[in-house]
Structure 1
Amino acid sequence: MGMFTRMSDIVQANINAILDKAEDPAKVIKLLIQEMEETLVELRSVAATNLAEKKQVQRQADKLQQQINAWQAKATLAVEKDREDLARAALGEKHLCQQKLSALTDEQVVVDESLSKLQADMGKLQDKLVEARAKQKSLIVRERSVAVRMTVKNRVHSVKIDDAIMRFEQYERRIDDLESQVDAYDLVNESQGLHAQFNELEAESQIEQELEALRKKVA
């Protein structure tokens, strides 16, 4: 599979769909990221080669333009000196340089278009790589969360936790019983105090009656 074909497949791929079909999503996403990183390195290498070629073509174009200017100046000088033969030869060399420059210009266009496409492809691939890495982090977080939840559920259903809950409930019932006893004691004390007051009133009344009877008897 060629690099650009592989890159195109990666860019057009739906990461979620790939992971949904995978038996081991974590392994698949890891391989996808590795594939993207390798393809991105290759694209950068091709882009670097194209940039070097562009600079070389630009240097050749600049050199040809200097030659064109020089031959133009020589043709002008020959005309001024009435040497049309030399002027004609200088213009001929100038035209040859212009043809070469035109070919280089076409080559520059091809190189620039290739670089633009490479930059666009690298941008798309970089976006996919960011998406894949984010998906990988999400899978890791979900995996850890499931592991923690499973551990907690296992502990909740363990015998030790059940025993601890039962002991807590027993302790809670003991506290309720003690509180009930205290409340009952307060009610008894309150009732006994009320009876004592009435008994005291009745005793005083009896004493007053006996005292009155003695007074009448003495009188």
Structure 2
Amino acid sequence: MAKQSIFGRISQLVRANINALLDEAEDPEKMLDQMVRDYTNSIADAEAAIAETIGNLRLLEDDHKEDVRAADEWGQKALAASRKADEFRTAGNTVDADKFDNLAKVALSRQISAENEARSAEPQLAAQTEVVDKLKSGLNGMKEKLVQLQNKRSELVARSKTAAAQQQVHDAVKSIDILDPTSDLGRFEDKIRREEAKVRGQAELAASTLDAQFNELDDLGELTEVDARLAALKAGGAQGAIGG
């Protein structure tokens, strides 16, 4: 129960901290560093709890040793009192013999009580020793996982930085594509072509107007010549009339 309660409480704390970090994760490096700190603190909490459990086990061991020692001492006292009683009984002193036999019985009673105490503590000692061994093993496992977490943290931070650098390169390339001046050349060229066409249209219009002006001059020339010939005809006709 002690093992389950200690590591159960710590595992719940660790899971709660990790869930909180994941919910608020913005900077992967900071999140991983906090995870390492939280797990390190959890190991410290586990060490303190396990140290207390080991201390309780050592107290039980001390009490057991004291009961075993007391049982041995009372056994020795019972033996000494019994031998003393035998000596008095051999000497014919039954009063003192009975007195020391009674003392031997008291010593044996206390020996039995101490033995019972020691015997009743042995299952608890065995169970507590097993718990402590498992706690120590669990603590060593936590420390190994901390090393794995620290190594994984370094790997993930490196991968995160690489991904961020690649994203920066991608964004830079994307911005270069957006700002690429050659992408606007087609629009500029189309604008220039329209201006050139406009100039050609103006030139063509100007040329057609000039042709019309020359045509008017030609027409005027023809009319002038007609008038001149008509005048000549008139003049020639008049001369003929006079001469006749």
TM bracket, shorter-chain basis: 0.5 to 0.7
Say which SS state the counterpart of residue 20 (structure 2) adopts.
Answer: coil
Equivalents in 1 of 2:5, 2:41: separation in Å? 14
Equivalents in 1 of 2:99, 2:12: separation in Å? 69
1:58 paired with 2:68, answer: yes
Unpaired runs of at least 5, structure 1: 164-219
Q: Compute the displacement of 1:102 (Å).
A: 0.7
Aligned to 2:233: none
Aligned to 2:185: none
Aligned to 2:5: 9
Aligned to 1:22: 19
Equivalents in 1 of 2:167, 2:14: separation in Å? 36
1:112 paired with 2:122, answer: yes
Equivalents in 1 of 2:49, 2:95: separation in Å? 59
Deviation digits for residues 77-121 of structure 1 (CA, Å, limit 9, x no counterpart): 122222333322221111111111111111112333333222111
The amino acid that maps onto 2:132 is M
Aligned to 2:152: 142
Unpaired runs of at least 5, structure 2: 22-34, 174-244
Deviation digits for residues 7-56 of structure 1 (CA, Å, limit 9, x no counterpart): 43135579599648733454553343122100111122222323332333
Larger radius of gyration between Structure 1 and Structure 2: 2
Aligned to 1:101: 111
| CA pair 159-36 structure 1, distance change in 2 beyond 3 A | closer
Aligned to 2:54: 44
Q: TM-score, normalised by structure 1?
A: 0.60
Q: Tell me if structure 2 keeps the 8 A contact 1:47–1:115.
A: yes
Aligned length: 159
The amino acid that maps onto 1:22 is N
Percent pairwise identity? 14
Aligned to 1:33: 43
Aligned to 2:221: none
Q: Tell me if structure 1 keeps the 8 A contact 2:14–2:42.
A: no
Deviation digits for residues 104-158 of structure 1 (CA, Å, limit 9, x no counterpart): 1111123333332221111111122122222222222222111111222333344
Equivalents in 1 of 2:47, 2:10: separation in Å? 17
The amino acid that maps onto 2:59 is T
Equivalents in 1 of 2:43, 2:117: separation in Å? 35
Higher relative contact order (CA 8 A, sep 6+): 1
The amino acid that maps onto 2:101 is L
